[in-house]
Structure 1
Amino acid sequence: MNTSEVLKIVDHTLLTQTATWEDIKTILDDGIKYETASACIPAAYVKQAAEYVEGKLPICTVIGFPNGYSTTATKVFETKDAIVNGASEIDMVINIGFLKDKKYDEVEEEIRQIHEACDGKILKVIIETCLLTEEEKIKMCEIVTKAGAEFIKTSTGFSTAGATFEDVKLMHDHVGEGVKVKAAGGISSFDDAEKFMSLGADRLGTSRLVKIMKNTDNGAGY
């Protein structure tokens, strides 16, 4: 598989607290140049970013990020605001405490309400696999499927660990028909990316692959 095929499923991501508009513009320019699936950026920059790219690159943002424990009403408002501002894709964080309390209906209903607020745009549900038991991961595959979201996603990249090969395979094996898997956090090479894809990842959240390409273009090699 060539690098351009891999980059087509990458959400080129910058979510650090210190990100400036100049930093965001670099992400957007690189996303357009390397034809990534989207640029995933903080919500505060979505409107400006959507105007800047003029439809050349889908804009993705995060909701309830990174801890997931905002109220459902807050997350729904964030989602509607992001969509109005030009977001094409939404990555939300579940309420992990509710999952551990076995409030499965509440977790599912929240995802359903946010999906409805997406108004036909793609919703990816971040379950933060590093904080879950295997049983909880499998349960979330079931809940995300029932709630109607398009993707289940491994990680925020802001917790104790990112995506693992084992988790991506488990998620791929347990989600229902039509639900895709996004691996995010710690994807540092094209070899890693291809391994995740072979195990069932349909989307990758990372900034490092584009950085590798830029270094290659500048003569630094892999």
Structure 2
Amino acid sequence: MAYIDFLTSVHKSTTRDYLARVNDAEFPKAKAAALAKQWGFDYWDGDRRICYGGYRYMPGRWAPVAQAMIDHYGIKAGDKILDIGCGKGFLLYEISLLVPGVKIHGIDISEYAIANAKEEIKPNLQVANATSLPFADNYFDFVFSITTLHNLHNYDLDKALREMERVGKKNKYLCVESYRNESEKANLLYWQVTCEAFCTPEEWDWWFKQTGYTGDHSLIYFE
């Protein structure tokens, strides 16, 4: 297992007003979270004060992340890849453009996301839960999950990490939210609307050992 950061540049490209997120008059934090956790229109394409505020495909936005993963893991045509929590499939689509012939698969709990996914790869995506992946053992050459697993309660996080390990061969990567100090903890609490597992880096390491997860990982901080 190694710490490999593919996501910080994308994460830091967004400007965040943490206090405004908490104190908004129309969508106070509790209301925004309740709407977001339905994983429907409000989460993806509703008001920015709830979550993404319009999660649309922007050509090339995810290409640097895709290329970095391709280079690091030596992804090639014919490889089977799974994205756990694929959303609308934008990252998978970029991978398919960069490596023609790669066999992509994606799962997400959001029926709305799958229904509104990138048309070119929608047949490769399905509604499913990270706690019970509909794939055989050791089926994928590369399994990844980006900013998804921290949305699970502990009992489901345990299952999801074990499932990720089960369906993957050697190469696996996940990215989750975390905090290193009280300032980052407060910012995470202010900003997130779906997070359930609030863990320090040391606690994430504990989870990986507890569940036998052997893949790589990185952490997102709200500085």
TM-score exceeds 0.5: no
TM-score with structure 2 setting the length = 0.38
Structure whose residues are more often helix by fraction: 1
TM-score with structure 1 setting the length = 0.38
